[in-house]
Amino acid sequence: MDNSPTKTLAAKIAVIIPAFNEEQSIVSVVNAVSNISNTAGIKLVPVVVNDCSTDNTALVLKETSAVLLDLPVNLGIGGAVQTGILYALENNFDFAVQVDGDGQHPAQFIPDLVNAALNQKVDVVVGSRFMTKDGFLSTKTRRAGIKWFYLLNRFLTGTRVLDATSGFRLFNRNAIRLMADNYPDDYPEPEAIVLFSRAGLKIAEIPVKMKEREGGVSSIRGFSTLYYMWKVSLGIIFTYFRKIK
């Protein structure tokens, strides 16, 4: 088995944190990642992708140890994460972990994601709220939407990912290479599950406890919920048929 601590120690891990107007929470997110890096014995490099924030997100980061990727125009979450992925690919990282900039994803679970990838020999690990139903579980309507994505993904690819909208994920080199060329722009998470399955990557899901956001507002609210459901469902179906680059 590959779960020896030396293997974990040697791995280069980029923690990609997409941020759009997260000046209130971004520093604590970065610091939490750095603390885990110091205490858990794994080397984590926080990589913040500033998606052309209009607040002081870039400025407050100067005090931290994070690598800052400053986008000149706003690309949306997918394009921002992909920027971090390109950085990880270029700089030969073994793993990339995606963590939201709003503080929803506690850094203490990052070692669990890494261990799951090493022990279960999978390419992608998704941190799921619904395996133990612990912590912040989102609203009822949102959970219904997430259930729909689960069913759609299971029907198309047979992949069973309970929390397809979770942006708390780990990717290995295979997944990084795939994502560098293929990654949706808006609301990429559920579509990406289909993408990974189609590319033959193995996905594991592990339980994590999420928190309510520390600052900022969700990108999915009000009328855009309908657009979101429609866009993502269509995206999932087209990703299923599309040729992978």
Partner 1 sequence: MEKVQIIAVATSLLFLGYISFLIYRGRLREEYALIWIVCTLVLIVFSVWREGLEVLARLFGVVEPPNLVFTGAIFAILVYLLHLSVSVSKLQVQNKKLAQEIALLRQKSDPSKS
Choose, by CB under 8 A, the member of 1, 6, 62, 222 that binds partner 1. 62
In the numeric block, the tokens 């299923």 are attached to 240
Minimum CB distance to partner 1, residue 103 (Å): 21
Cα angle vertex 39, ends 66, 12, to 5°? Answer: 55
Sequence-ordered list of residues with C-beta below 8 angstroms from that of 178, at least 6 positions apart, any chain = 195, 196, 199, 201, 244
In angstroms, how far is CA 83 from the centroid of its own chain?
Answer: 13
| Residue 90 binding partner 1, by CB under 8 A | yes
If binding means CB under 8 A, how many residues of this protein chain bind partner 1?
Answer: 18
Does position 217 interact with partner 1 (CB under 8 A)? The reply is: no
Over the window 166 to 195, marking each residue x when it contacts partner 1 by CB under 8 A and - when it does not, the resulting string is -------------------x----------
The region of 64-72, 102-110, 149-157, 206-214 touching partner 1 under the rule CB under 8 A is 64-72
Query: Considering the rule CB under 8 A, would residue 55 count as an interface residue with partner 1?
Result: no
Q: Does 72 bind partner 1 (CB under 8 A)?
A: yes
Nearest CA to 63 out of 39, 34, 87, 38 is that of: 34
b/e sequence 198-216, b meaning 16+ C-beta within 10 Å: bbebbbbbbbbbbeebeeb
> Which residues in this chain contact partner 1 in the complex, by CB under 8 A?
49, 62, 66-73, 75, 79, 82-83, 86-87, 90, 185
